[in-house]
Homo-oligomer: A and B are copies of this chain.
Amino acid sequence: MIKDVVDDIINKTKAELVTREKVYDGGFVEVYEEKYKLPNDKEITKKSIVKNGNKDASIVIARVSDDKYLLVFQNRINNIVSVEFPSGYIEENEDVITGSIREVYEETGYLLSDGELVDTFIPNIGSESSKVHIVYLKNVVCKNNQKLDDDEYINYMEFSFDEISYLINNNYIQSGGNKLAFFYLKDILTKENNNNVLIKR
C-alpha cells in the first residue's frame, strides 16, 4: 500500500524543531528563524515568513454568465499591473465561502451566492505555511458598484474562457495560483460538457 510506504519515509525524514524565534516584525510581514535537528543529527536554520498573521486567502472563479468570468486588474508589487481572478484574505470570523463572496462583491460589485471549495494549496511551501483556497462561485444574486477601500484601486472586466486562455498563454496572467485555478476551471467545464452530452443521449 502506497500510503504505508510514504508514511514510513515521512517519519524517517522528520526533523526535530529545536527553537522558533521571531527575528523581524514588520506588521504585515514577520520573519521567524526555525532551528531543526535533522535525522542525521546535523542542525540547520530555516527562515519562515508569516504574512498577515498567516491568514488563509482565496482565489475565486466567479462565473457571472454561461461563458463569462470576472478578472480584476491591480497594481501589485514591483510596479506590475497583474490580471487575476478576484482574491483576498479570509477574515477570522468568516468561512472560506463567505469570505470569497465578500471579496468578489467588494472588488467587482457582483454578489454571488453558494459556491464550492475546489482545492487548497500552499503557494510557497519552502518559506511560508499560509494556505490559499480556490473557490468556484456561479450564482449571480445582483450587481452593485464596487466597494473598495480608500487605498484600493481595482478595475475588473468579464472574460470568456477562451479569452482567459489567451491571457494565460500570453503571460498576462502570471500567478501560479491563478494558473492552477484555470486548470480546475477547465476540468469543471469538461465535466459539465460530458454531462450535457450524456443528457442529450
Q: How large is the interface on A (under 10, 10 to 19, 20 to 34, 35 or more residues)?
A: 35 or more
Indicate if A161 sits at the interface (CB-CB under 8 A): no
Set B6, B44, B123, B167: member contacting A123, Cβ < 8 A: B123
| Cβ distance A20 to chain B, nearest Cβ, rounded Å | 9
| Cβ distance A122 to chain B, nearest Cβ, rounded Å | 5
Interface segment among A81-89, A104-112, A135-143: the answer is A81-89
Given contacts A31-B29, A153-B39, A163-B2, contact A176 B73 (CB under 8 A): no
Copies of this chain: 2
Set B24, B48, B123, B132: member contacting A31, Cβ < 8 A: B24
A42 touches B151 (CB 8 A): yes
- Looking at chain A's contact residues, is the secondary structure mostly helix, strand, loop, or mixed? mixed
| Cβ distance A53 to chain B, nearest Cβ, rounded Å | 13
| Cβ distance A49 to chain B, nearest Cβ, rounded Å | 6
A73 touches B180 (CB 8 A): no
| Cβ distance A25 to chain B, nearest Cβ, rounded Å | 9
Set B2, B75, B81, B129: member contacting A80, Cβ < 8 A: B129
A49 touches B75 (CB 8 A): no
A153 touches B13 (CB 8 A): yes
8 Å CB interface, A148-180 against B:
150-151, 153-155, 157, 159, 163, 166-167, 170, 172, 174-180
B77 touches A157 (CB 8 A): no
Indicate if A188 sits at the interface (CB-CB under 8 A): no
Q: Top 7 nearest A-B pairs by Cβ distance?
A: A121-B176, A15-B75, A48-B77, A125-B175, A78-B129, A183-B183, A38-B153
Other than the known A36-B75, A48-B78, A82-B125, what 4 A-B pairs have Cβ atoms closer than 8 Å? A9-B155, A23-B26, A43-B151, A46-B76
